[in-house]
Homo-oligomer: A and B are copies of this chain.
Amino acid sequence: MSTNIEPGSARGRGRPRDGEADRAILEAAAELLVGGGYDEFSLDRVATRAGVARTTVYRRYPTRSHLVVAVMAGLQREAPLPDTGDVRRDLLELMRSMVSVLDRPSMRRLAGELVAAAARDAGVGEAARKLWVGRRQAAFALLLRAGWRDPSVLVDQLAGPIYYRALITGDPIDDEYLRRLIAAVLPGEGPIDEGA
């Protein structure tokens, strides 16, 4: 019993993990989390929907939170990165995609759940950071590579207010707000060029 998340890793001696179960669990969890909302998501329901015993889920994810992290990572994997060469424009696009996720109440609830889980359990925090935050951070940093000093602080100044509004103050986040954030952080002049 290793509670390993990687699907095809460590083919040991005993009976192999049912790969189909891996897939079915993640799919069922994603459906329940994204579609149904928070209260629909119980390990019992996930297991039933996946056609699997509850213990089979626990063998893969030691905690409900770990499963949530895995689902988020799966959803995240599908998002492409904007890269038109125009830093401001790409940043705006990246922030828009963040907001579009956090705008959905079900996803906002999910993110909140994840924050709590990360604060509660260091392992979950590590996993969440690597899978969920890491990509965004890297994306931001990549966009800012072109000579802006102190990219890490810049990233915080762009992403921080978004999470702050979405998860803490609850204030709405519109496009104008995003532009203002970018303008405040990148002291270039003129509006953002949206392309033709």
Contact = CB atoms under 8 A, between A and B. Distances in A.
Contact of A165 (B156, B177, B180, B184): B156
B161 A181 contact: no
A164 B153 contact: no
A159 B157 CA distance: 10
Contact of A160 (B112, B118, B162): B162
Interface residues of A, number: 38
A38 B167 CA distance: 20
Interface string A119-142: 110000100010001000100000
A137 B157 CA distance: 17
Interface in A67-109: 108-109
A153 B170 contact: no
